[in-house]
Amino acid sequence: MIINTGARTDTVQYYSEWLLKRFKEGFVYARNPLFPNKVIRYELKPELVDCVEFCSKNYAPILPRLHEITSKFNTHFHYTITAYGKDVEPGVPSIEESIKTLVALKKLVGRERIVWRYDPILLTEKYTTKLHFETFRKLAEQLAPHIERCIFQFR
């Protein structure tokens, strides 16, 4: 079983304490978004979970206690860093802060477990193709020593 901690919201950024408590207690309830009356209990035990997949735009809140999960479970991390400012993503740290946090995450888990996501790519009057190419190039240069791959998609 693969547990994805960020499929519906940025759980790491906004609910780190809750997430850590769920892993400590060994289970989580999840409501099916299509059938709200259907609630499933997932057992969070190392012998049942093949991998915990994290997806976040800010790992800073969980870094001091991440070992509580990584010491027991196989883990993989998607770290989203894009060109957008506070006008599009008001709750997301700056690119500079995000890079510092990614470097700290790499020191804890290793570069082979981190994927950089440049996603989504929104095209607007402000966020042009040219701006995305420039930002992506600069980010790629800075992140290359710390990650092995990048994924992106257009929406």
Task: Give the tens place of pLDDT for each residue, 129-149.
Answer: 999 999 999 999 999 999 989
- Quote the pTM value: 0.91
pLDDT at position 40 is: 94
Q: pLDDT tens digits, residue range 4-44?
A: 998 889 999 999 999 999 999 999 999 988 999 999 999 99
* Sheet-wide strand order for 51-56: 2-4, 51-56, 75-80, 114-121, 149-154
- Amino acid (1-letter code) at residue 10: D
